[in-house]
């Protein structure tokens, strides 16, 4: 098992606590997204998950396991460190004061009360929520029905900052540093209206439902999977073919929406005919028309047309016309450019759908 992947995914789940303390953890789909954006493949991510996570079934989220939260019991300075120790100290100090006045058995405080008291003292709400969630998950506190207490009815204990002073130095956390911005972006996508996936191919698979083409989702995902399995550094004609298929598919699946919405693109009578008669050349050309409602700008259109020319090498008749002396050999950079072009076109389609959103199932 690749320990690097396990370490990264553990750091990602840990970062979810720092980013969203009240909605900690990541769904399976979110964790796959985080892993892919870090450069890992779904198969190796799935293999790693068997060794490293627990599940919050009530929220359908994966959480850090004890191998992560157990280390939180021993507080050290870390690099990077997303903990506000004023907030950590405040939580413990509030419970300590109650323990001294009421006794250990009666040391109970509503989480909401501690949060509001901290905010009144100038501690950011997010930071105090992180401090509480972190200590609950590490078994430094217990929480039941929104009520906090020390475990086992223990009495007052040392402030977290005192532990830091007893342990000088910092522990480097390179995987945390790598994972944090990705996790932050993925979690923000839960509510900010952006596609759940940052990667355009995966994001477009979601749009097929809204466009009324849900049955074609498997087709799209399989083409994407095959393209990802091609060697980006090899002189691969298949990369051009598959990339062009995704360009053609993304544009084909928005034709009915554009025409139904009376937008400027795809208004040619050619698109009155059966979709099997539509040509990729015409789809690209029409996608760049329509003024303010155009999908492709000139640069993206030119790149797409270059991809089409590269793809045409699978047609012997086209090669005889275009390259009577014989076609040039395929270069590795053409395969890489084909993938990049397909991503650029699909991203342009996604941006266009943000500007002109379809009604769910609208095609």
Class of domain 82-166: mainly alpha
Residue 257 has what pLDDT?
A: 95
| pLDDT tens column, 240-262 | 899 999 999 999 999 999 999 99
Instruction: Show Cβ contacts of residue 106 under 8 Å, excluding neighbours closer than 6 positions.
Output: 98
Of 145, 164, 148, 163, give the one whose Cα is nearest residue 113.
148
Instruction: Show Cβ contacts of residue 226 under 8 Å, excluding neighbours closer than 6 positions.
Output: 238, 242
Please give the structure tokens belonging to residue 169: 């130095």
Region of 146 (left: φ > 0; alpha: ψ -120 to 50; beta: rest) is: left
41 pLDDT above the threshold of 80: yes
Q: What SS3 state is found at 320?
A: helix
- Greatest mean pLDDT among 10-14, 51-55, 149-153: 10-14
Residue 75 has what pLDDT?
A: 85
Residue 55 has what pLDDT?
A: 66
| pLDDT tens column, 312-346 | 777 677 667 777 777 666 666 777 888 889 999 99
Please give the structure tokens belonging to residue 189: 């996508």
360 pLDDT above the threshold of 70: no
Cα–Cα dist 128/90, whole Å: 8
| pLDDT tens column, 57-111 | 556 789 998 888 888 888 889 999 999 999 999 999 999 999 999 888 888 999 9
Residue 106 has what pLDDT?
A: 86
DSSP state of 25: S
Q: What is the largest CA-CA distance in the chain?
A: 94
Mean pLDDT over residues 105-134, rounded? 94
On the 0-12 / 13-18 / 19+ scale of CB atoms within 10 A, 60 is exposed
189 close to 27: Cβ distance less than 8 angstroms? no
In angstroms, what is the C-alpha Rg of the chain? 27
Cα–Cα dist 282/319, whole Å: 20
Residue 152 has what pLDDT?
A: 84
Chain CA centroid to CA 115, Å: 30
| Res. 214 pLDDT band, cuts 50 70 90 | very high
| pLDDT tens column, 128-137 | 999 999 999 9
| Res. 226 pLDDT band, cuts 50 70 90 | confident
């Amino acid at each position: 098992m690749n320990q690097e992947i396990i370490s990264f995914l553990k750091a990602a789940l840990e970062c979810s606590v720092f980013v969203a303390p009240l909605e900690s953890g990541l769904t399976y789909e979110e964790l796959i997204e985080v892993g892919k954006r870090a450069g890992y493949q779904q198969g190796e991510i799935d293999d790693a998950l068997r060794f490293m996570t627990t599940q919050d079934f009530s929220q359908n989220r994966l959480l850090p396991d004890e191998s992560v939260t157990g280390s939180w019991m021993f507080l050290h300075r870390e690099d990077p460190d997303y903990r506000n120790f004023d907030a950590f100290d405040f939580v413990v100090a509030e419970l300590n004061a109650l323990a001294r006045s009421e006794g250990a058995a009666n040391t109970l405080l509503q989480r909401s009360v501690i949060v509001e008291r901290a905010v009144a003292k100038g501690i950011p709400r997010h930071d105090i929520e992180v401090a509480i969630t972190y200590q609950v998950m590490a078994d430094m506190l217990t929480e039941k029905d929104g009520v906090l207490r020390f475990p086992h009815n223990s009495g007052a204990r040392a402030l977290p900052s005192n532990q830091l002073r007893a342990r000088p130095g910092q522990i480097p956390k390179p995987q945390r540093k790598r994972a944090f911005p990705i996790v932050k972006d993925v979690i923000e996508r839960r509510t900010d209206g952006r596609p759940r996936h940052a990667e355009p191919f995966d994001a477009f698979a979601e749009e097929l439902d809204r466009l009324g083409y849900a049955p074609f989702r498997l087709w799209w995902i399989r083409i994407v999977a095959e393209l990802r399995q091609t060697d980006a550094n090899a002189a691969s004609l298949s990369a051009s073919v598959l990339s062009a298929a995704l360009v053609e598919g993304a544009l084909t699946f928005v034709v009915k929406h554009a025409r139904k919405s009376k937008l400027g693109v795809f208004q040619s009578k050619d698109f009155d005919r059966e979709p099997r008669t539509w040509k990729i050349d015409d789809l690209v050309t029409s996608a760049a028309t329509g003024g303010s409602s155009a999908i492709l700008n000139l640069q993206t259109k030119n790149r797409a047309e270059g991809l089409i020319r590269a793809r045409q090498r699978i047609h012997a008749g086209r090669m005889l016309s275009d390259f009577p002396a014989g076609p040039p050999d395929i270069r590795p950079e053409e395969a890489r450019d084909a993938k990049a072009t397909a991503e650029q076109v699909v991203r342009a389609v996604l941006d266009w759908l943000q500007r002109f959103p379809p009604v769910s199932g609208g095609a």
